Amino acid sequence: MAGIRLVLAIVQEKDVGRLIDALTEDGFNATMLASTGGFLREGNSTILIGVEDAQIDQVLAVIQRSAHRREQFVSPMPPAVEPVDSYVTYPVKVEVGGAIVFVLQVEKMARF
């Protein structure tokens, strides 16, 4: 039996519709989870895609062409442990978007 991989892609909200459309068009099954980035504390989406080994390159190519990196100025949230008035935040420029992708080996997949 062919090996199964789980692709876990974290993408910006702006890119998620385009990515899901492209995955569906190419015949991939995907699940979207609402997630929040630890640094920006903004909503992003975590997409789960179960695929066979042989499809990994194709799915990565779909993700790469659907998610774009862009620059954004943000004021980071103060750390929860600091007193609020002792912490001054300055906007910082960060690059966001594109996709952060993890590929995991799956021991078993079942559909009941």
Pairing of strands 31-36, 43-52: antiparallel
Q: Pick one of 4, 6, 40, 103: the residue that binds ligand 2BA (CB under 6 A).
A: 40
User: In degrees rounded to 5, what are phi and psi of residue 71?
Assistant: -90, 145
When asked if residue 39 is in the footprint of ligand 2BA (CB under 6 A), the reply is yes
When asked if residue 104 is in the footprint of ligand 2BA (CB under 6 A), the reply is no
When asked if residue 103 is in the footprint of ligand 2BA (CB under 6 A), the reply is no
Q: Which is nearer to ligand 2BA, 56 or 101 (CB)?
A: 101
Query: Are the C-beta atoms of residues 20 and 30 closer than 8 Å to each other?
Result: yes
Structure tokens at 17: 């519709």
Q: Which is nearer to ligand 2BA, 4 or 10 (CB)?
A: 10
The CB density around residue 49, as the number of other CB atoms within 10 Å, is 23
Contacts with ligand 2BA: how many residues (CB under 6 A)? 12
Q: Could you identify the residue written with the tokens 């912490």?
A: 87
Closest residue to bound ligand 2BA by CB: 37
Query: Are the C-beta atoms of residues 84 and 78 closer than 8 Å to each other?
Result: yes
When asked if residue 94 is in the footprint of ligand 2BA (CB under 6 A), the reply is yes
Q: Could you identify the residue written with the tokens 């974290």?
A: 10
Residues that bind ligand 2BA (CB under 6 A): 10, 37-40, 42, 44, 94-96, 98, 100
